[in-house]
């Protein structure tokens, strides 16, 4: 890929500098780098000239120029980065109560499409990284602390509400 593009040394260095700026926190995405590239006076012409019109090509090029950058199109990171996935970024970004929309907005910035956003939500909920505390509110599981007494109170309340029913409609519970 790198040789077939026949980039000049100045273009290679420009792309390296641009990607380093975007990866200043240790992580970024081809989407973010591409958006920066579009508005860079010196490098924007590469999009058309070298047909770097999609994030897959740009991601491959960035990783070829700098082998210490790892990841995939939607999430790139330096090998020494604390954050190595979108799930880890979500954990570091949302340390308290948040909403699905706030998380989705973050994933949109990184180029995640709706299908992948849904998969990430499923993953973080199925793995107990976040719990749903309301219709749209999420909270980091690691920050939730309940005493045994509080857990017993919740169990008692649920049992009372169930009162022989096969299921319990959460939206009809008091305080939900």
Query: What is the average pLDDT across 70-77?
Result: 92
Instruction: Tell me the CB-side half-sphere exposure of residue 134, using CA atoms within 13 A.
Output: 9
Question: Phi-psi region for residue 41, left (φ > 0), alpha (ψ -120 to 50) or beta?
Answer: alpha
Query: What is the average pLDDT across 133-151?
Result: 89
pLDDT on residue 56 = 83
Which pTM does this prediction carry? Answer: 0.80
H or E stretch at 87: helix 86-93
* CA-closest candidate to residue 157, choices 144, 175, 145: 175
pLDDT on residue 57 = 86
pLDDT digits (tens, 9 = 90+) for 30-44: 999 999 999 999 999
């Amino acid at each position: 890929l790198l040789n077939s593009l026949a980039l000049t040394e100045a273009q290679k260095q420009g792309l390296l500098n641009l990607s380093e700026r975007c990866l200043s926190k240790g992580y970024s995405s081809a989407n973010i780098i591409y958006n920066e590239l579009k508005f860079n006076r010196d490098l924007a012409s590469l999009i058309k000239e070298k047909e770097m019109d999609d994030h897959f090509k740009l991601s491959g090029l960035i990783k070829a120029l700098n082998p210490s950058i790892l990841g995939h199109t939607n999430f790139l990171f330096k090998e020494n980065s604390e954050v190595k996935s979108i799930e880890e970024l979500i954990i570091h970004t949302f340390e308290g109560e948040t909403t699905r929309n706030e998380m989705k907005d973050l994933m949109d910035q990184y180029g995640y499409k709706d299908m992948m956003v849904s998969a990430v939500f499923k993953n973080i909920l199925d793995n107990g990284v976040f719990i749903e505390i309301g219709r749209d509110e999420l909270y980091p599981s690691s920050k939730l602390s309940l005493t045994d007494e509080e857990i017993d109170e919740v169990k008692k309340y649920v049992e009372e509400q169930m009162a022989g029913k096969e299921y319990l409609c959460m939206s009809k519970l008091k305080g939900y």
